[in-house]
Structure 1
């Protein structure tokens, strides 16, 4: 377990788990949203493919993402382990809603200097809407990829509830 993807829907706790794993395993953690968004207006990093290629060429890393379409296959080709936070909507939605309300109220600075805003809640790309609408699609995508022979031998750890993830993390 040296090249790890932590996957799941928005709000499942990918970043939190990836940071904890980084501390436990001594591997470098790269936050995909910070790599993807590089400036005001949620602008996309034009060097994303090169950046991700360079970061994943190393022998040990953790990335918290299924991967945007531009880098998805690259990430999955180079990973040796996928940790799948396969939580139901009833677990994920309260988390993503609390996080987005906190970020909006506190005007927390996010990736590329951006912030969540009250008007942003009306967008289909807002994390709450995205998590709700993409839950089934993401779940099917990850399930398909974990069975795809192109990505074998890829160790997959699939957790259906946060307590299962916490128990596993405690055992490391």
Structure 2
């Protein structure tokens, strides 16, 4: 495991798990959202984003967290391992509620240099809410990754399916 992509629905804990895994393996951690989001919640243009991502993926070893389907054909040319954090709906929902509440009260900048902060309004009263996104996409994402893991389209890539925080912790301990 030298080039790892951690995937899962919003709120599954991809960033936290990826960071811990990168620390454990002594390799670079790449947060896809940190590359993608600009100040004022603007998004990097697709071609520029893919170019920036490619520059990171060409490095020798890393743990990348993030889904963004538009990046799959690029990132999966490089990965040797895909880890799917596939936790229950209720666990993921609880996790995203807690995270959203903490971020909206702390006002901590999410990605350095962007000034992007989550607010109570954005998280709980907006159509841009990550909670709403999770509710709308949890089952669709689960079906998409179940189909991917059952297919033979990723020959040569190690697939790791972690279905609980307990299994994820055990995986980290043994990495």
TM over 0.5: yes
- Residue pairs, 1:16-165, within 5 angstroms: 16-40=16-40, 42-46=41-45, 47-66=48-67, 68-111=68-111, 112-120=114-122, 121-165=124-168
Q: CA deviation at 1:12?
A: 0.9
Q: CA deviation at 1:134?
A: 0.8
Does structure 2 conserve the Cα–Cα contact (< 8 Å) formed by 1:3 and 1:79? yes
Counterpart-to-counterpart distance in 2, 1:164 and 1:149? 24
Q: Tell me the SS of whatever aligns to 1:78.
A: coil
- Give structure 2 stretches of 5+ with no counterpart: none
Counterpart-to-counterpart distance in 2, 1:85 and 1:124? 25
Does structure 2 conserve the Cα–Cα contact (< 8 Å) formed by 1:77 and 1:151? no
Deviating runs (4+, > 3 A) in structure 1? Answer: 147-150
Counterpart-to-counterpart distance in 1, 2:126 and 2:145? 25
Counterpart-to-counterpart distance in 2, 1:166 and 1:30? 20
Q: CA deviation at 1:144?
A: 2.4
**1:167 matched residue in structure 2:** 170
Q: What is the TM-score of this pair, normalised by structure 1?
A: 0.92
Counterpart-to-counterpart distance in 1, 2:55 and 2:144? 25
Q: CA deviation at 1:141?
A: 1.6
Counterpart-to-counterpart distance in 1, 2:168 and 2:8? 12
Report which stretch shifted further, 96-105 or 106-115: 106-115
Please report the RMSD computed on the Cα atoms of aligned residues, expressed in angstroms.
Answer: 1.4
Does structure 2 conserve the Cα–Cα contact (< 8 Å) formed by 1:87 and 1:159? yes
Q: CA deviation at 1:167?
A: 1.2
Q: What is the TM-score of this pair, normalised by structure 2?
A: 0.91
